[in-house]
Amino acid sequence: MSLLLTLLLVLTLDAPTITMDDAIASPITDQIEGSFWVYRIRIEPKEVRGATVNEITDISAVLQRAMIIDKRSGNTYKAIIAEQPALGTDGMYGMKLKVTGGKYPLYRGQIYGTVATAITATATVDGPTTASTTKTKAFDFHN
């Protein structure tokens, strides 16, 4: 492929599509660690005319904000992304988050909150990398 054609292809490539309409956060299942999963994130490369869509090459997540409250004490917790998004067996992506701060183990029904995450993805098409795309969504969760 000539350099001009490659450059033209790179400039016209569409970023992957990130769909989080069906994405949900699981309740906290590990009361000692305070971890939970956000799953059903669909990331797909857009079909590019005349080019082979190879794969999604780079996916990352950033925690935008977290508001987590202890119902008993009124104290607040923080959250971190414990595992970056990974492809599951169902063909969708999921990531693990962890509640930090406060006392552990947690008791059922002790905390509730909302976390907002931004997912960014890029793909490759016949070698060149597409532009990246980012999608943000807030998730409610509890234990």
Per-residue pLDDT of the chain (143 residues; tens, 9 = 90+): 555 444 444 445 677 889 999 999 999 988 999 999 999 999 987 766 665 566 777 899 999 999 999 998 999 999 999 999 998 888 899 999 999 988 889 998 999 999 999 999 888 766 677 778 899 999 999 99
- pTM confidence score: 0.81
Q: Is 114 helix (H, G, I), strand (E, B) or coil?
A: strand
The CA distance from 47 to 27, in Å, is 35
CB 143 within 8 A of CB 110: yes
CB 84 within 8 A of CB 94: no
| CATH number for the domain harbouring residue 138 | 2.60.40
Number of domains forming the structure of the chain: 1
CB 101 within 8 A of CB 79: no
Q: 124 lies in which domain range?
A: 3-142
Token pair belonging to 59: 């996916």
